[in-house]
Chain A
Amino acid sequence: MYTKYSRFDKPERAKDLFLEGARVVDPRSGIDQVLNLHIRDGQLKVGLSEPPQGTDVIALRGHIITPGWFDLHVHFREPGKEVAETIESGCHAAMNGGFTGVACMPNTNPPLDNAGTINWVVEQAKPFPVKLHVIAAATRERNGKELVDMSEIVECGVRAFSDDGAPIRNSVVLRHALEYSNMLGAKIFQHAEDSDLVCGGSMHEGEWSTRLGLTGMPGVAEAIDVIRCIQIAEYTGTAIHICHISTKGAVEWIRWAKKRGVRVTSEVCPHHLLLTDAHCKDYDTNYKMNPPLRSEEDRQACLDAFMDGTLDVYCTDHAPHAWEAKAVEFDQAPFGIVGLETAMGLALTHLMPHVLDFNALLERVVYAPCEILTLPIPRIADGEQANLTIIQPDAVYKVDPSKFRSKSQNTPFAGWELKGRARGVICRGLAFIKEA
């Protein structure tokens, strides 16, 4: 009866929708109970016992509804590499994966370094129940030299700047980027890496890179840049966010900095929590990303830091690449894997409950990302705009990349058996709910 909500290309207006019988979990509102939710014109009404006349009732017994999940680090390839992903297909992937918010990195071609391009990108996502936030380039054309017109870009609603894909190498530029963006209430997201140390590498440097004959990217390259960022942030009294942490060294510096009161936040990706460099053994390019898969010791350190909150955010670094781009020699292949459509299943299956309980997981995928971008926190309460993720926690399935809504299927998790998937999302007055 609710098939009309299951279309990716035309999500229905959630005019009058009654979500019945799901467990509603919103720790920040102090809610964890079975509740009916009524949505009219996008607005929430909590706890009605009966659906009002003429509403679409969706039976969600056994499901969990949470505030909308947010992926703080994705790459939609438009403009430039539409063959790998467009904003539309990226939004489909987000909807399918249970995300109502994404922060898009600016390393498109041309890069998102000016108000015009940024507004255009945001406009493309309007038909979907996905709030697309642009992380603008920090420097013009991501050249690492001149700052973009930050004030004007912040006026477009941008909350963060990054040259992701590459670090801001020059410490003077980094300092100015931090000071100027913080003045505007925005942050710098640093892809932490000593570019000289990793130059020419295609996997983590260690026993496996030696066995495979591949040029290595030493883990210290990340830690070195993390401590540089921390020192500059502390000195200038600014806030900095560090992307996709993957090494024990980086984790230890961040933990140290947080204890000192430095305003540093950071994120971690599922692949760095679940895979190691040993997975590169067959030269499968779906295990090639930057930062690379690290040693088991690094992985354990990231898990610990994810558990204790040193790493604030769970994000995917969703990096689509067309099949032909990845079907090449390992050292020739581009870095990156898709993640939007596996992140939830992986978290529910492999990180809960032994690493995180459900509330802590929501901190990492709902609240912390919004706080870092200084966005309003989505809440489940009367009168709030509905921004919801619907989870089917007992669904057992095998990851099948051919079913992805992303244009690309470059995932190392194909064939993994997972338990728990996204059933749908509701956001911006639009609903997308899949068949049970």
Chain B
Amino acid sequence: MSLLPHKHMLGLEGYSEQDITTIMDTAERMREILERPLKKVPTLRGITVVNLFFESSTRTRTSFELAEKRLSADTINFSASVSALSKGETLLDTARNIEAMKIDVVVMRHRSPGSCHFLAKHLDSIIVNAGDGCHEHPTQALLDMLTLREKFGTLKGLRVALVGDISHSRVALSNIIGLKTMGANVILCGPATLMPRGIEQYGVEVTHSLDDAIHRSDALNIFRIQLERQDVGLFPSLREYQKYFGVTRARLEKAVAPLTILHPGPMNRGVEITSDVADGEHSVILRQVTNGVAVRMAVLYLLAGGHPELSEPKP
């Protein structure tokens, strides 16, 4: 059984402060493994994990795959381009077929919100959400939080601003839920057209002034702005976006104390973030990537590690 009071990780909704702390503590131990010369432990030997990616996401998939391999799980990658989906098969049939091949864990990226919940309802496997549409991306939020905790020691009372497209960001929602659960203060900064309706229910502050957000924060988590949002008129132009919501060194220098800079990647350099900020001394963007592998190892270990097949390996 899972070492957390959850079978799946569908999102951070429902995960308690204790659960998140357990994951982060475990991830720190996992990170130590990543720094060894021999970066592999037998923890998930005999466990089969399928990475079911219906949207291409090389970065997240690679991170999960590495985490799985470091823990000695057997991994299979399944991506939409080579799947039966192009033949019109439903998600349910695809998933059932995969499960019939005796899979223990399904890591899924899918463009439909709630697709992981849907899978969890129909399959026995452990489901880990690697991003479901504009809903949640829990492991990304966990690695963001781990990176912040590493830097600041605690998340309690920390002031974190999430900057950019909040409406269409699965990373934003998971970060909001996670950070609020951990006692951080969350400020959302972006154009009004990219703020989801009713987001105040999470106890977050909303500002449309980047200077205001910078002034009141200890860290900025900057989200990628997607070009297709401009096509549907959610903001007038990239130029205007860059001018008012792009994070630049000049803007950051107005802050009382230096701000820690996070970005879930991939970055549009020169749009939402300038290179001098992305590569500057307060950027922890690459640390996020390292922590990503550690967090995913922790999640897989905690969810699948207590699996009967694992704790009592069969001869």
CB contact under 8 A between A282 and B199, given known A328-B90, A329-B110: no
Q: How many residues of A contact B (CB 8 A)?
A: 22
A208: which B residues are within 8 A, CB to CB? 198
CB contact under 8 A between A329 and B118, given known A213-B113, A324-B90: yes
A69: which B residues are within 8 A, CB to CB? none
Contact between chains at A213 and B173 (CB < 8 Å): yes
Flag whether A16 is at the interface (Cβ < 8 A). Answer: no
Contact between chains at B133 and A213 (CB < 8 Å): yes
Cα(A277)–Cα(B90), bound, Å:
26
Flag whether B258 is at the interface (Cβ < 8 A). Answer: no
Interface string of A296-321 (1 = CB under 8 A from B): 00000000000000000000000000
Flag whether B134 is at the interface (Cβ < 8 A). Answer: yes
A-B pairs under 8 A by CB, number: 67
Could you say which of B90, B113, B121, B170 contacts A214, with CB atoms under 8 Å apart? B113
B117: which A residues are within 8 A, CB to CB? 282-283
Q: Which residue of B lies closest to A208 (CB)?
A: B198
Cα(A65)–Cα(B251), bound, Å:
77
B13: which A residues are within 8 A, CB to CB? 211
Flag whether A375 is at the interface (Cβ < 8 A). Answer: no
Contact between chains at A330 and B114 (CB < 8 Å): yes
Could you say which of B92, B118, B173, B196 contacts A330, with CB atoms under 8 Å apart? B118
Contact between chains at B170 and A213 (CB < 8 Å): yes
Contact between chains at B115 and A329 (CB < 8 Å): yes
CB contact under 8 A between A212 and B197, given known A282-B117, A283-B117, A332-B112: no
Cα(A215)–Cα(B170), bound, Å:
13
Q: How far is the CB of A363 from chain B (nearest CB, A)?
A: 37
Flag whether B132 is at the interface (Cβ < 8 A). Answer: yes
Interface string of A193-214 (1 = CB under 8 A from B): 0000000000001111111111
Flag whether B91 is at the interface (Cβ < 8 A). Answer: yes
Contact between chains at A283 and B118 (CB < 8 Å): yes
Interface string of A273-295 (1 = CB under 8 A from B): 00000000011000000000000
B173: which A residues are within 8 A, CB to CB? 210-211, 213
Q: Which residue of B lies closest to A206 (CB)?
A: B198
Cα(A368)–Cα(B89), bound, Å:
45
B170: which A residues are within 8 A, CB to CB? 213
Interface string of A318-342 (1 = CB under 8 A from B): 0000001001111110000000000
CB contact under 8 A between A212 and B135, given known A330-B112, A330-B118: yes
* Cβ < 8 Å to A, chain B residues 137-170: 170
A205: which B residues are within 8 A, CB to CB? 197
Q: How far is the CB of A206 from chain B (nearest CB, A)?
A: 5
Interface string of B73-95 (1 = CB under 8 A from A): 00000000000000000111000
Could you say which of B112, B136, B201 contacts A331, with CB atoms under 8 Å apart? B112
Flag whether A216 is at the interface (Cβ < 8 A). Answer: yes
* Cβ < 8 Å to B, chain A residues 164-210: 205-210
A324: which B residues are within 8 A, CB to CB? 90
Interface string of A202-232 (1 = CB under 8 A from B): 0001111111111110100000000000000
Could you say which of B121, B132, B197 contacts A210, with CB atoms under 8 Å apart? B197
Cα(A332)–Cα(B112), bound, Å:
8
Cα(A213)–Cα(B118), bound, Å:
14
Q: How far is the CB of B228 from chain A (nearest CB, A)?
A: 13
B199: which A residues are within 8 A, CB to CB? 210
Contact between chains at B201 and A330 (CB < 8 Å): no
Contact between chains at A330 and B113 (CB < 8 Å): yes
Cα(A332)–Cα(B118), bound, Å:
12
Q: How far is the CB of B10 from chain A (nearest CB, A)?
A: 10
Contact between chains at B197 and A329 (CB < 8 Å): no
Q: Which residue of B lies closest to A283 (CB)?
A: B114
Cα(A209)–Cα(B168), bound, Å:
12
Interface string of A37-51 (1 = CB under 8 A from B): 000000000000000
Q: How far is the CB of B215 from chain A (nearest CB, A)?
A: 26
Cα(A213)–Cα(B112), bound, Å:
9
Q: How far is the CB of A48 from chain B (nearest CB, A)?
A: 57
Contact between chains at A328 and B201 (CB < 8 Å): no
Q: Which residue of B lies closest to A295 (CB)?
A: B198
Contact between chains at A212 and B113 (CB < 8 Å): yes
Cα(A283)–Cα(B119), bound, Å:
11
Q: Which residue of A lies closest to B90 (CB)?
A: A328
CB contact under 8 A between A214 and B198, given known A327-B90, A331-B133: no
CB contact under 8 A between A214 and B114, given known A207-B198, A209-B197, A331-B133: yes
* Cβ < 8 Å to A, chain B residues 191-234: 196-199, 201
Contact between chains at B133 and A327 (CB < 8 Å): no
Contact between chains at B198 and A212 (CB < 8 Å): no
Cα(A209)–Cα(B173), bound, Å:
12
A283: which B residues are within 8 A, CB to CB? 113-114, 117-118
Q: Which residue of B lies closest to A210 (CB)?
A: B196
- Most chain B CB within 10 A, of A208, A329, A331, is at A329
B134: which A residues are within 8 A, CB to CB? 213-215
Q: Which residue of B lies closest to A218 (CB)?
A: B197
Q: How far is the CB of A184 from chain B (nearest CB, A)?
A: 41
Q: 5 closest pairs, A vs B, by CB?
A: A213-B135, A283-B114, A329-B112, A207-B198, A213-B113
> Residues of B with Cβ closer than 8 Å to A?
13, 90-92, 110, 112-115, 117-118, 121, 132-136, 170, 173, 196-199, 201
What would 9 more interface pairs be, CB under 8 Å, given A213-B113, A329-B110?
A206-B197, A210-B199, A210-B201, A213-B170, A214-B114, A283-B113, A327-B90, A328-B92, A329-B118
22 intermolecular pairs with C-beta atoms under 8 Å apart:
A206-B197, A206-B198, A207-B198, A208-B198, A209-B196, A209-B198, A210-B173, A210-B196, A210-B198, A210-B199, A211-B13, A213-B134, A213-B136, A213-B173, A214-B135, A282-B121, A283-B117, A327-B90, A329-B118, A330-B114, A331-B112, A331-B133
